[in-house]
Copies of this chain bind each other. A is one copy, B any other.
Amino acid sequence: MSSEFGKILRVSVFGQSHGKAIGVVVDGLPAGEAIDLDALNAFLDRRRPGRSPLSTARKELDTPVFLAGLEDGKTCGAPLCAVIENADQRSKDYSELQDKPRPGHADFTAWAKWGRNADMRGGGHFSGRLTAPLCIAGGIARQILARRGIHVGAHLSSVGGARDMLFPLHPTKALFDAVAAKPLPVLNDHALEAMETAILAAKESLDSVGGTIECAAIGLPAGLGGPMFEGVENRLAAALFGIPAVKGVEFGGGFSAAYGRGSQNNDSFFIENGEIRTETNHAGGILGGITTGMPLVLRVAVKPTPSIGQAQKTVSLSRLEAAELTIHGRHDPCIAHRAVPVVEAVTAAVLLDLLLEGNHGTF
């Protein structure tokens, strides 16, 4: 029940949306790793709102201040701590919500757990804003991995009914570099238009729309992870479900594989340049919880933003009676595209943790 994940590399996130600051402690980073702060800020920019009509008009500058762990631009072995001050707080927008839980939000469950003590202004500790410190941690991990030839990238694989999936499951670094440079992080430009249309249509109906994100890691060695409960899938899923609004995680063929046959889903082995590889990659780079050396491919389901402009039925917590609620303020009609770098960040942090832990198969 905590806001931390990781075994060797521990990532601990803190902050509430409308508190003084949000931040992250990253414990276990190897020393001597140079952090490219410009690249890190560019990475953080990818999740920042206020950049297009597809997102909320709120502005967040989100410039991290490093309190510890970074000396002369390099990690020094001690835990790293970065904080982001909360500036643009409009707490008045949220006053009514203290008594009327927003459907689809954690307002009700925070009350069930913490009573009236919960600070739920702006979503409190459950706010999507907490993904900014996650991106700091994961953005650093992503740089460290890249230096070792391991590249983590993601793209928006669907918005509402508009889909844009990887096929085959053999992505390249160049592909993801191209994706990251687009206004919406998509593979195919024709998908971009369909997705924009879906988001704007939802916005116009005072509604929101969900999406899915496909993420891949290229360059992982075979043999990471292990059987059963601390395998690669277990650890990635445990962390990915920590991203607000994620309701599903699948690897490789995932649910689609479950609707098909073994002869289609099994990946044949072959030899390429003296290396054992598979022709297809329905396994998503993982067999028995252990990496195969093929690209790791996963998908997460992001539910539609629960904050919508339509009037909704709720209850008054204090009077235990029916109530109506209309959420005002600025909200994202879709958060899936902004969650793309967050999925990369969490994936990168978990993979660096696994790499630091090492193979341990033999000694």
CB-defined contacts of A208 to chain B, threshold 8 Å: 261-263
CB-defined contacts of A75 to chain B, threshold 8 Å: 117
Asked if A266 and B23 make an inter-chain contact with CB atoms under 8 angstroms apart, the answer reads no
The interface-forming segment of A6-14, A42-50, A182-190 is: A6-14
CB-defined contacts of A211 to chain B, threshold 8 Å: 258
CB-defined contacts of A103 to chain B, threshold 8 Å: 266-269, 278
Interface residue? A60 (CB, 8 A) = no
A169 → B minimal CB distance (Å):
12
A84 → B minimal CB distance (Å):
10
**Copies of this chain, count:** 4
A297 → B minimal CB distance (Å):
11
The interface size of chain A toward B, counting residues with CB under 8 Å, comes to 158
- Using an 8 Å CB-CB cutoff, how does the interface string of A293-331 with B read, 1 for contact, 0 for none? 100000001111111101011110100111000000000
CB-defined contacts of A124 to chain B, threshold 8 Å: 76, 78
Asked if A30 and B110 make an inter-chain contact with CB atoms under 8 angstroms apart, the answer reads no
List the B residue with the shortest CB-CB distance to A76.
B119
Asked if A229 and B260 make an inter-chain contact with CB atoms under 8 angstroms apart, the answer reads no
- Using an 8 Å CB-CB cutoff, how does the interface string of A154-176 with B read, 1 for contact, 0 for none? 00001011000000000000000
A263 and B222 contact, Cβ closer than 8 Å, known pairs A77-B125, A315-B276: no
CB-defined contacts of A196 to chain B, threshold 8 Å: none
Q: Name which of A265, A266, A336 has the most chain B CB atoms within 10 A of its CB.
A: A266
Pull 6 A–B residue pairs with CB atoms less than 8 Å apart, ordered by A.
A2-B226, A32-B362, A148-B363, A229-B242, A249-B249, A268-B314
CB-defined contacts of A32 to chain B, threshold 8 Å: 114-117, 362-363
Asked if A19 and B276 make an inter-chain contact with CB atoms under 8 angstroms apart, the answer reads no
